[in-house]
């Protein structure tokens, strides 16, 4: 079954639309938004609904309030930023369910925008509680999911709510996410190269196993590379290693090689005597990592190797940085790979989280074909899983 999208709904005029968005944006200590990509990403869907004079109700979570009301996690900063971006008032509801909210929503006029307070102030959101979902659904004629980043979660505002709304569809952000994923994984132009980084192998083993049947090359960087290197017999000093996964890492490496996949690992790295921005650092080959030092970034020879591996790529997917790029001393490898991916002649898809931050910080985001808004959701799609939020859109989108 296919997903129905907002532009396939016959009539939005004056309708009350409940739109699940992901405004889980980073804030500084003064509750100021430091990066608003996730808000800007859903502007096309919000503006499309407003073009039809719909009544738009936005629902999101922010942070991890753990089912309790906490002013620190209020949606107020997101409502304020969205007001500036769309050039009209976005009223913040006092809650996301309850009598006060109902009164506010009953007074909405066509073209009004209201943002509900943090969904995760209620434990029922993360528990996928049908009663909580029904209370949310009471507010609307149409449900739109434009929150890809949380679509791997079976939460009340993502999954259960679709049972209680007559019209269910997805927004334009979701449409972009699914279209680019299909281009990359279902019918890719080859060679298809997967770049995986980040700290740990544990979150990406199933992804790697899935990729072994789809890609032509796998490039491994970040802390997870050291688990593979140790499994292959290298002494990696005090670098991050998941000891319990050494056999699995070796098995995955051998599986890729048996299938004829080119498997690239670092050949040198930037090492430090401690995990600290002020640590003493040097570049060594993988064979010469000092016993009491740790690898925190790929080295210049690895950057050259990985860049060469991308030269003939036609499709590149990337999830996870090449090192601890938050610290300047260990950021060069990640930023060099951003440049290599951005300047390749390939369809390039970067998957959420830290990789997204690195691309923006490097100033190369305009050259990337598509930057996904979802980290965990992106990885689960790569694993071949059916996301709960996608499944219910397919099942309920044509009822």
Is 259 designated active site? Answer: no
Average pLDDT rounded to a whole number, residues 134-150: 95
Average pLDDT rounded to a whole number, residues 135-143: 94
Apex CA 127: angle with CA 151 and CA 132, to 5°?
Answer: 95
Label residues 192-212 b or e (16+ Cβ within 10 Å = b). bbbbbbbbbbebbbbbbbbbb
Which of 127, 183, 200, 214 does the annotation list as catalytic? 200
Is 200 designated active site? Answer: yes
Which of 197, 198, 353, 375 does the annotation list as catalytic? 353
Kindly indicate the confidence band of residue 182, based on its pLDDT and cuts at 50, 70 and 90. confident
Q: Are 137 and 59 in contact (CB under 8 A)?
A: no
Q: What secondary structure letter does DSSP report for 222?
A: S
pLDDT in tens, 73-113: 999 999 999 999 999 999 999 999 999 999 999 999 999 99
pLDDT at 352: 67
pLDDT at 141: 95
pLDDT in tens, 117-126: 999 999 999 9
Q: Are 163 and 130 in contact (CB under 8 A)?
A: yes
The total of other beta-carbon atoms located within 10 Å of residue 255's CB is 15
- Which 3 state secondary structure label does DSSP give 101? helix
Among the four given CATH numbers 3.40.50.1260, 3.40.50.300, 3.40.50.1860, 3.40.50.720, the one describing domain 188-382? 3.40.50.1260
Label residues 99-126 b or e (16+ Cβ within 10 Å = b). eebeebbeebeeebbbbbbbbbbbebbb
Q: Give the separation between CA 271 and CA 296, rounded to whole angstroms.
A: 6
pLDDT in tens, 8-53: 999 999 999 999 999 999 888 888 998 898 999 999 999 999 999 9
Q: Are 57 and 82 in contact (CB under 8 A)?
A: no
Q: Give the separation between CA 266 and CA 337, rounded to whole angstroms.
A: 13
Is 38 designated active site? Answer: yes
Average pLDDT rounded to a whole number, residues 218-243: 96
Per-residue pLDDT at 1 exceeds 80: no
Strands (E) located in 52-191: 55-59, 90-92, 113-115, 142-145, 167-170
Same fold, 6-175 and 188-382: yes
Which of 63, 67, 203, 376 does the annotation list as catalytic? 376
Q: What secondary structure letter does DSSP report for 241?
A: -
Which of 4, 16, 38, 230 does the annotation list as catalytic? 38
The total of other beta-carbon atoms located within 10 Å of residue 332's CB is 18
The overall average pLDDT reported for the chain is: 94
Is 260 designated active site? Answer: no
pLDDT at 398: 63
> Domain spanning 6-175: which superfamily?
Phosphoglycerate kinase, N-terminal domain (3.40.50.1260)
Nearest to 17 by CA among 141, 114, 123, 122: 141
* Tokens representing residue 389 in the block: 């939020």
For the chain, what are the domain ranges?
A: 6-175, 188-382
- Please name every residue paired with 269 in a beta bridge, in sequence order, or none if there are none: 284, 298
pLDDT in tens, 352-364: 678 888 888 888 8
pLDDT in tens, 200-212: 888 888 889 889 9
Q: Give the separation between CA 355 and CA 320, rounded to whole angstroms.
A: 5
């Amino acid at each position: 079954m296919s997903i129905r999208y907002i532009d396939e709904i016959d009539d939005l005029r004056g309708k009350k639309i409940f739109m699940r968005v992901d405004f889980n944006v980073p804030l500084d200590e003064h509750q100021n938004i430091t990066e608003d990509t996730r808000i800007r990403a859903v502007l096309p869907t919000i503006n499309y609904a407003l073009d039809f004079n719909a009544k738009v109700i936005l629902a999101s979570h922010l942070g991890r309030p753990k089912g309790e009301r906490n002013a620190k996690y209020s949606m107020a900063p997101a409502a304020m930023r969205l007001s500036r971006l769309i050039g009209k008032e976005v009223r913040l509801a006092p809650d996301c369910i309850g009598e006060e909210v109902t009164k506010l929503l009953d007074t909405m006029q066509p073209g009004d925008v209201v943002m509900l307070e943090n969904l995760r102030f209620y434990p029922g959101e993360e528990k996928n509680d049908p009663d909580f979902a029904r209370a949310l659904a009471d507010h609307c004629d149409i449900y739109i999911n434009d929150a890809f980043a949380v679509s791997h979660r079976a939460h009340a505002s993502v999954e259960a709510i679709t049972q209680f709304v007559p019209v269910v569809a997805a927004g334009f952000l979701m449409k972009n996410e699914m279209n680019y994923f299909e281009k990359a994984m279902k019918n890719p132009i080859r060679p298809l190269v997967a770049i995986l980084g980040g700290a740990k192998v544990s979150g990406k083993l199933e992804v790697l196993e899935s990729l072994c049947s789809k890609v032509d090359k796998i490039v491994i960087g970040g802390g997870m590379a050291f688990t593979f290197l140790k499994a292959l017999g290298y002494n990696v000093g005090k670098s991050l290693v998941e000891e319990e996964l050494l056999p699995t890492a070796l098995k995955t490496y051998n599986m890729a090689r048996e299938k004829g996949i080119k498997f690239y690992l670092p050949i040198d790295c930037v090492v430090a005597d401690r995990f600290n921005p002020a640590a003493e650092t040097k570049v060594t080959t993988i064979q010469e990592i000092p016993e009491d030092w740790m690898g925190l970034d790929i080295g210049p020879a690895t950057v050259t190797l990985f860049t060469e591996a991308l030269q003939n790529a036609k499709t590149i997917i990337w999830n996870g940085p090449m090192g601890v790029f938050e610290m300047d001393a260990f950021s060069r490898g990640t930023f060099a790979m951003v440049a290599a991916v951005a300047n390749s002649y390939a369809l390039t898809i970067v998957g959420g989280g830290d990789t997204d931050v690195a691309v923006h910080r490097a100033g190369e985001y305009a050259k990337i074909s598509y930057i996904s808004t979802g980290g965990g959701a992106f990885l689960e799609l790569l694993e071949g899983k059916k996301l709960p939020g996608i499944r219910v859109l397919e099942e309920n989108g044509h009822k």
